Chains A and B, each alone.
Chain A
């Protein structure tokens, strides 16, 4: 297989007295959508900063698109796209001028720029506003333009820091449509943070960082399964017979109460079709309730994601980081 898009080994960062990141290891496969979650001050933004070459690690190593983030800073930068939650557009310039500025800084070949610019603008549905000054854009349009700009130089890895924060639900879902389209049409790895757990579900894998260490890393399904099994409730024509068949054919012990058969399995939704095939008793209704990613986050960090992200913490961090310098 191809080399991993991101490979982190023993990565550490210490600020004066504070150990922000305490030696973490993980890999992100090429083409993966990877979610990076954690409470404020957990080391999330410091880690992203190191991967984007904005923060110099104290120890350990990390490669992005196969290049070392310290030794090969310039190459890493050419291979990543960054979309931060705070806007980094020039409001006095038009959408097109903002893109052109980016293309020149990243050395996009002039001959390729025209078609590439059309493509990214179409992808985020801003082609008709290309001449408009960015200061006249809504929050959602600005975010879309930032995503378009982040993609302009065909990065191998796109970093999205809270890509939908502060947007209304409709705009949020349209942003996700663009990201989805992006995954289908571009050969790209997405590394993102979010505090919307319904959005974290879109990730192929999720890492949760707390107190500078990674406390959990797996697919959303597996993470939820690790927290507890799904609860399935079935209402059948003959619950007693159904419970007997469940025991015989699936080895699952059910419980009959309140006119329903209740039992626990790892992936309830995947089990339901098997259930239909496996039971001879007619089934009237099925409901599956499962541990949510909120439960997962709570279990691993002791905080709900809303406590953890109540303010715009990551943005504050990025701003502070730019002010502090990257020593």
Chain B
């Protein structure tokens, strides 16, 4: 194709295909990491919320819940704090799409000869990575609330946080695809995130609730991410069976006790579903 060219160092760009998709995913993912790292202040400010949650709310409410011996309330809310740090970082990271749209960079991506699905996957993996990294900072504080640094536990928590982070980023990207302004995005996500978080069992055990709240918690996908995290933490605590049953009762549908694998499957399925919706939305832009 290229005739004898006078151009110095002209490049021949190959046809697209699977490889070009992989390169696109990687560079979009890489950019998310660069952006995360260049904004280190945010890593610190994003810590404030989970710290308040564990040490202020956990300590304050702890004085009311001395009923079950051997478990500090701070330990109980700690899994919720892990989920919280992942939640906000993941959704905020997805929100950068709205930001990119306002500042024009989204157009650079949309006019490129790559599939929109590759862009969305890269974005979701990037958000998942940065949100997990943010979660790791909270994870490092496990010792302060009496959670042991067992290698097995840490690995399990890391994996579950990564899954949750991926799903939440997909949720954020799905939202960001249709919202034109950053203010709008922040408003909508705040409106959705707080109720999701409050009804996920991050702040209270999911047994013995009134019927309406039981329904709400069971319909909330976040419930199925918080519960396995908490059960993993409590499995590694040296406490009585009664305490475990009171604080980490697990999730049940009627009399069916939902196993952890199914909970994680629900989270993964929700993530993939939202990823699909997000790429369909982006293909139409």
Using a CB–CB cutoff of 8 Å, the interface residues on chain A facing chain B are 2, 52-54, 73-75, 77-78, 82, 84, 86-93, 97, 100-102, 104-109, 112-113, 115-116, 118-119, 152-154, 185-187, 318, 322-323, 325-327
Does B107 sit within 8 A of A, measured CB to CB? yes
User: A204–B285 Cα gap in the complex (Å)?
Assistant: 35
3 tightest Cβ-Cβ pairs between the two chains A and B: A104-B27, A77-B113, A105-B112
Instruction: Say yes or no: A91 contacts B103, CB within 8 Å.
Output: yes
Given contacts A87-B103, A92-B38, contact A109 B11 (CB under 8 A): yes
- B7 to chain A: which residues have CB within 8 Å? 154, 185-187
Instruction: Say yes or no: B180 contacts A54, CB within 8 Å.
Output: no
Instruction: Say yes or no: B104 contacts A75, CB within 8 Å.
Output: no
Smallest Cβ-Cβ distance to A113: which chain B residue:
B11
A185 smallest CB distance to B (angstroms): 6
What 1/0 flags go to B101-121 for Cβ under 8 Å of A?
101111111111110000000
B22-59 residues with Cβ-Cβ distance < 8 A to A are 23-24, 26-27, 31, 34-35, 38-39
Instruction: Say yes or no: B111 contacts A154, CB within 8 Å.
Output: no
- B106 to chain A: which residues have CB within 8 Å? 322
Of B6, B35, B103, B113, which is within 8 A of A74 by CB? B113
User: A177–B165 Cα gap in the complex (Å)?
Assistant: 49
Instruction: Say yes or no: A104 contacts B11, CB within 8 Å.
Output: no
Stretch at the interface among B12-20, B186-194, B259-267: B12-20
Given contacts A101-B27, A107-B23, A323-B180, contact A153 B3 (CB under 8 A): no
- B35 to chain A: which residues have CB within 8 Å? 92-93
Instruction: Say yes or no: A154 contacts B31, CB within 8 Å.
Output: no
Using a CB–CB cutoff of 8 Å, the interface residues on chain B facing chain A are 2-3, 5-16, 19-20, 23-24, 26-27, 31, 34-35, 38-39, 100-101, 103-114, 180, 284-285
Instruction: Say yes or no: A100 contacts B27, CB within 8 Å.
Output: yes
Instruction: Say yes or no: A119 contacts B31, CB within 8 Å.
Output: no
Of A82, A84, A97, A104, which is within 8 A of B24 by CB? A104
- A74 to chain B: which residues have CB within 8 Å? 15-16, 113
- A105 to chain B: which residues have CB within 8 Å? 23-24, 27, 108-109, 112-114
B122 smallest CB distance to A (angstroms): 10
User: A78–B2 Cα gap in the complex (Å)?
Assistant: 14
Instruction: Say yes or no: A108 contacts B6, CB within 8 Å.
Output: no
11 further interface pairs, Cβ-Cβ under 8 Å (given A92-B35, A154-B10): A84-B104, A90-B105, A93-B34, A104-B24, A105-B24, A105-B114, A106-B113, A107-B13, A119-B8, A119-B9, A187-B10
- A93 to chain B: which residues have CB within 8 Å? 31, 34-35
- A84 to chain B: which residues have CB within 8 Å? 104, 107
Smallest Cβ-Cβ distance to B111: which chain A residue:
A82
- A326 to chain B: which residues have CB within 8 Å? 284-285
User: A73–B285 Cα gap in the complex (Å)?
Assistant: 15
Smallest Cβ-Cβ distance to A153: which chain B residue:
B13
B27 smallest CB distance to A (angstroms): 4
Of B26, B31, B285, which is within 8 A of A322 by CB? B285
Instruction: Say yes or no: A107 contacts B111, CB within 8 Å.
Output: no
User: A154–B113 Cα gap in the complex (Å)?
Assistant: 14
B9 smallest CB distance to A (angstroms): 4
User: A78–B15 Cα gap in the complex (Å)?
Assistant: 8
The residue among B100, B101, B285 with the most chain A CB atoms within 10 A of its own CB is B285
B55 smallest CB distance to A (angstroms): 32
Instruction: Say yes or no: A322 contacts B6, CB within 8 Å.
Output: no
Smallest Cβ-Cβ distance to B14: which chain A residue:
A107
The residue among A86, A87, A116, A322 with the most chain B CB atoms within 10 A of its own CB is A322
- A112 to chain B: which residues have CB within 8 Å? 9, 11-12
User: A53–B101 Cα gap in the complex (Å)?
Assistant: 18
Instruction: Say yes or no: A89 contacts B107, CB within 8 Å.
Output: no
User: A104–B27 Cα gap in the complex (Å)?
Assistant: 6
Instruction: Say yes or no: B180 contacts A109, CB within 8 Å.
Output: no
Smallest Cβ-Cβ distance to A324: which chain B residue:
B285
Given contacts A104-B27, A116-B9, contact A89 B110 (CB under 8 A): no
Of B3, B12, B103, B284, which is within 8 A of A154 by CB? B12
- A187 to chain B: which residues have CB within 8 Å? 2-3, 5-7, 10
- B16 to chain A: which residues have CB within 8 Å? 74, 78, 107
A153 smallest CB distance to B (angstroms): 5
Of B10, B15, B24, B27, which is within 8 A of A75 by CB? B15
- A102 to chain B: which residues have CB within 8 Å? 108, 112
- B8 to chain A: which residues have CB within 8 Å? 119, 185
B23 smallest CB distance to A (angstroms): 5
- B26 to chain A: which residues have CB within 8 Å? 104
A211 smallest CB distance to B (angstroms): 27
- A325 to chain B: which residues have CB within 8 Å? 284-285
Of B6, B15, B104, B112, which is within 8 A of A87 by CB? B104
Instruction: Say yes or no: A154 contacts B11, CB within 8 Å.
Output: yes
- A153 to chain B: which residues have CB within 8 Å? 11, 13
User: A241–B249 Cα gap in the complex (Å)?
Assistant: 114
User: A34–B264 Cα gap in the complex (Å)?
Assistant: 58
- B180 to chain A: which residues have CB within 8 Å? 323
